[in-house]
Structure 1
Amino acid sequence: MWTVSGLVGAAVGIAVLVGAALLLGFTRWSWVPAPVVDRAWWAPVCYGVYGVARAVIAPRWRYRVHRWEVTADVVYTRVGWLSRAWQLVPVSRIQTVDHTQGWLERMFGLATLEVRTASHAGSSKIEGLRAEVARELSEQLAVRAGELRDDAT
């Protein structure tokens, strides 16, 4: 899913840059120097190479570094590319648990689980879960949070 998402993003970016290059080529505005117009095609080509490389490399790297775990008391998440962030969300502090599916996630049978607390900094997101796993986890966490509910102070 992350690879297809990257390729779709690259295709949109390339389309915008090709449109800009065509616009520069057809209009020949007096204030745009001719060398800029002649070299305008390099932008979509360079962005295309970058976009394809990112779509191939980023998902594999992301899969290696992003982790999550749910225990009886805590939801652990680890994210980050160069610098890593570990987040521990106590189940007793959970206010809402949502699982959502974008159009691309639905195509692949995946979902995103969002665990929210009263503090935005305490909220966590787990992306790329199988849809059944996300649904089951959201139900289990909601029940467990209700059982452990305290005054959260």
Structure 2
Amino acid sequence: MTDVPAPDTLFSPLIEHAIELSAQWHDGTYRKSVWRDPAFEKPEDDEIQTPVISHLAAVASIVRRAGWDEPVVAAAYLHDAIEDRNKHGQRLRRRQLRDAMGAEVTQLVAQVSEQKLDDEGEMRPWRERKEGYLDNIRTGSPEATAISLADKIHNL
């Protein structure tokens, strides 16, 4: 048996960078709800907060296990970065994401992001946002569809 040196990182540089950027952007943000198995009693002080990064890692894991390549996995880690505000109320702009991650990852993230604001910066109506999202998925790439499905699976 030959000795094979261990890799320096578990993931490729692209995925490592996506994990770092996602963790920084979503630092201090938490999931909206906590699912509990009904077989377990709900604790009195139900103050458990699940960091958003755990959801992003789960979505990326689903995508990776389904056999998608590195840019798709990287985009899965970042799939909420454009859509959701960070703890300071800021939105990550596509240009910032493109500068950090490149055009391919940014395009995938954009395809799975709901456009929440209109041209004046006002919140678009719920139905209009959801219909726009579905149109993006319907006309988008198979890679974007895979990320969207992984997101929905983990949100069940």
Please give the TM-score of this superposition, normalised by the length of structure 1: 0.22
Please give the TM-score of this superposition, normalised by the length of structure 2: 0.22
Larger Rg: 1
